[in-house]
Amino acid sequence: MNEPTIGQVKRALDWWSCSERFRLLVRTDPDGARREFALDFNPDLIRFVWDPPGSDHPSIRAYHDFVEDKRARRARIRSESAPDEPRFKAWRARQIARNRLDSGGYDDDVSHAPVAIELADGCSVGCWFCGVSAGKLAEVWRYTDANAALWRDVVSVLRATIGEAARWGLLYWATDPLDNPDYEQFALDFSRITGTWPQTTTALGHTNPPRIRRLLEMSQERGCRINRFSVLTERQLRQIFTEYDPEELTHVEIVPQMKGGAIPRADAGAFRLRAKTAPAILDEERRKLTLLAAAQNTIAPPQAGTIACVSGFLLNMVRRSVKLVSPCRATEQWPLGYVVYDERTFRDADDLNRQLEAMIASRMPLTIDPDDRIQLNPALTYTRVADGFQVTTPMNGLSFSDPNLAGYVGSIGDRVSGGQKTAGQIAFSALFEHGVPETDTLTFLSRLFAQGVVSAERSS
């Protein structure tokens, strides 16, 4: 038997993530697991996954290098997703800081892509746990001559507005890309205009192998290194693994959504709604978190609260709508796991250009203005402490203190948490009560603004 390839090692790890039966069998009878799950090597070789420390086997080192390369690429994509437009770039940086406070280490896996575009209204799959509560498929935006012309103009406007970062946009959201028979045509135009084929995540990976093979080939040829299959059942996964050999799926991530899968679902959208009447499903997701933490020798974090990955514009071509959004932990106010800062409609590409500029102008200030009303990020819990104040979430926290200026720092925290004062009023009060120059207080407020602790509501 030959040494396993990266694709073969990945397949065994996919089974480990997807099948409770595999995880049980591989501990007691690895060769039996090999036979039952049609692997090309004895999975005891990768025991390091569930029984640290690791292995020095060359196949495992090669797989580690492969994973590290993916992580480096993701980090690069996240960095390169920062728009060229300075107001947009600064706004995105604030959203990342805010979500880092809100979601802790979960934010490390969020690309904060600058744009996502839906090519349908709704989704045919109907996952009961959908983190963005996709509705039933109502309409698909086909690649007609008129739509194709509009599409190219829309992508050109986005490329001009966002800059180079537009190439890391997505062509799905609360939709499945493969619901649109013309998805590849739209993606091809997108790649020609922006320079990169968009990453695809689909729950229909077990259907239409000729189409999917061609899609994977086209994406690889045009700069997309990773695509994803969300898999709802073990039967679907067996279908996929029977159809495709391990090498074909080396660059396809399997996202296990079946019973027995080890990857936790986000407490957002449809899952969050179901959990209100069936809270036991939260216990199952926490069990998965514990299992993953044990495998990685870490402490299990609280339940993930979003699948959103865009800090920027969300378009729907059927409805001709555009929103300004950014990830957050799902709440009663934002149950889908993302904040909507603005929402508009557009008629054509020129109108879209006007709407994008209006959103940037009104929602993405570079600095705090003295007339801006300063409000605490609602996800934060505010606490006044002896020498200042602190803000916390279940995932993170920040402290602001100065023993020599405890009253001043604490008063800034109190006024910010009240949410009723403008920056100028806060600065004037600090001058009057504590003798601190107004410019110093405005600088302090700007620091809180950049760290995602406060928002600045600009009067129209």
Q: Provide DSSP, 289-342.
A: HHHHHHHHTSPPPSPP-----EEEEEEETTTTEEEEEEE----SSSTTSEEEEE
Question: Span 95-111, mean pLDDT?
Answer: 92
Residue 211, pLDDT > 80, answer: yes
Residues 6+ apart with CB under 8 A from 401: 385, 387, 388, 389, 390, 409
Its pTM surpasses 0.85: yes
Q: What is the pLDDT of residues 340-367, one digit of tens each?
A: 999 999 999 999 999 999 999 999 999 9
pLDDT at 394: 87
Query: Which structure tokens are listed for 395?
Result: 């995932």
Average pLDDT score over residue span 357-379:
95
Mean pLDDT across 320-340:
96
Using alpha carbons, select from 230, 192, 194 the residue that is nearest to residue 81: 194
- pLDDT at 10 > cutoff 80: yes
Share of the chain above pLDDT 90, in %: 82
pLDDT at residue 167, rounded to an integer: 97
**pLDDT-based confidence at residue 49 (cuts at 50, 70, 90):** low
82 with 165: CB under 8 angstroms? yes
* Amino acid identity, position 12: A
* Digit-coded pLDDT (tens) for 279-294: 988 888 887 777 666 6
pLDDT of res. 164: 97
Q: Which domains does the chain have, with CATH numbers?
A: 1-80 (no CATH), 84-362 (3.20.20), 373-457 (3.90.930.60)
- H or E stretch covering 229: strand 227-231
pLDDT the model gives residue 59 = 83
Using the structure block, give the residue that is written with the tokens 């993170």.
396
User: What integer pLDDT is reported at residue 124 of this predicted model?
Assistant: 98
Residue 298 has pLDDT above 60, yes or no: no
Instruction: Decide if pLDDT at 238 tops 70.
Output: yes
CA distances from 276 to 19, 23, 270, 328 (A): 27, 30, 10, 19
pLDDT bucket at 400, cuts 50 / 70 / 90? very high
Residue in this structure with the two tokens 């993302």, named with its chain if needed: 338
Residue scoring higher pLDDT (105 or 15) = 15
- pLDDT at position 418 is 94
Looking at residue 304, its pLDDT comes to 74
Q: What is the mean pLDDT of residues 229-244?
A: 97
Q: Which among 145, 147, 152 is positioned nearest to 193, based on CA atoms?
A: 152
| Arithmetic mean of pLDDT, 292-313 | 75
Is residue 245 exposed (0-12), middle (13-18) or buried (19+ Cβ within 10 Å)? middle
Give the pLDDT confidence of 110-145 residue by residue, as tens digits: 999 999 999 999 999 999 999 999 999 999 999 999
Angle at 228 between CA 224 and CA 231, to 5 degrees: 165
Give the integer Cα–Cα distance in Å for 10 and 39: 11
Structure tokens at 328: 């957050």
Element (H, E) at 255: strand 252-256
Instruction: Note the pLDDT of residue 54.
Output: 61
Does 300 score more than 80 pLDDT? no
